Amino acid sequence: MTDASYQLGIRQPLYGLLVNAMTMEQVLEEAAQHAADRSRFLIGVVNAAKIVKLRKDALLRESLLVPDVVLADGQAVVWASRLLGHPLPERVAGIDLFERLLALADDERRSVYFLGARQEVLEAMVERVRSRYPKLVIAGYRDGYFPSDESAAVAAAIEATGADMLFLGMTTPKKEIFLAEHGESLGVPIQHGVGGSFDILAGITKRAPERWQRMGLEWAYRLLQEPRRLFARYASTNAAFIALTVRERFRPTAPYRLTGASAEQED
């Protein structure tokens, strides 16, 4: 058993979830092992916004109980974990993990499938991936704009490619729900929902400088780029996350359980 496999057992109780206390290198080691033996490694990530949203969104909440690992995508979650006495070692940002997994696929000549974004964004990203990682195999790709009643057909098409890795560039909770519903049947070892990362790799969206990332201010950088669209959302979400963290310090949320999406967690 690898050190990374052992680390899978170390899960910190945070906001009703169990978040894996893993570093980036441990996640990559585990992913490489699962790719080699073709066993499922479904990756879930949480940030402040998702933690706030899942309290009212039963589908999102239950989808985060299915992954094999749940990682802290947001620096605020790492800071809060230390304040709450359940420390996580570091932030494992979804976009960084995405790029490291692509590099792993390139090194090992593995195949990948991309699902999500608009067609023009997807095609631009695929071209950049081909140029940057010439040894990986692109098993297929399609945009993320399909109705929910077509998701089973989309899953079947992905399964037919025999891909080693699947990356979903779709919004929350659509990507989490798709993986929760179809992850077992896809036959793809590595499954990772990467949100807006397709836009970043395609060159459509500019990521915050590294200094802003280390300070946990990527949200502020995005706010500066789109203040009218994002101000109200970030103001309400950040305030709600701070209030929730204060509450967690004195009255932790009981662990969520898989009970069906219609069941609501007691507040």
Reported as a single tens digit per residue, the pLDDT across 196-255 is 899 999 988 877 677 776 766 676 666 566 666 655 665 688 899 999 999 999 999 999
Q: If 0-12 CB within 10 Å is exposed, 13-18 middle and 19+ buried, where does residue 18 land?
A: middle
pLDDT in tens, 73-108: 989 999 999 999 999 999 999 999 999 999 999 999
- What pLDDT shows up at residue 30? 96
Whether the pLDDT of residue 3 is over 50: the answer is no
- What pLDDT shows up at residue 264? 42
Q: What percent of the chain has pLDDT over 70?
A: 85
CATH among 3.30.70, 2.60.40, 3.40.50, 1.10.287 for 12-201: 3.40.50
pLDDT in tens, 145-197: 999 899 999 999 999 999 999 999 998 888 888 988 898 899 999 999 998 89
- What pLDDT shows up at residue 10? 86
- What pLDDT shows up at residue 157? 97
pLDDT band at 139 (very low <50, low <70, confident <90, very high): very high
Two tokens, residue 246: 């204060």
Amino acid identity, residue 250? F
Give CA–CA dist 230/218, Å, rounded. Answer: 13
Whether the pLDDT of residue 261 is over 60: the answer is no
Alpha-carbon dihedral angle through residues 260, 265, 266, 267, given to the nearest 10 degrees: -160
- What pLDDT shows up at residue 211? 76
Q: Could you tell me the CA-to-CA distances from 150 to 144, 154, 242 in Å, in that order?
A: 11, 6, 38
Q: Residue 112's closest CA among 40, 172, 180, 168?
A: 168
Which stretch of DSSP H or E encloses residue 70? strand 69-72
- What pLDDT shows up at residue 231? 53
Q: Residue 10's closest CA among 25, 20, 23?
A: 20
Q: Under a CB-based contact definition with an 8 Å cutoff, are residues 95 and 200 in contact? A: yes
Q: Residue 219's closest CA among 239, 246, 193?
A: 239
Whether the pLDDT of residue 1 is over 60: the answer is no
- What pLDDT shows up at residue 259? 79
Mean pLDDT in residue range 10-28: 96
User: What's the order of all strands across the beta sheet hosting 69-72?
Assistant: 69-72, 41-46, 190-193, 165-169, 111-116, 137-142
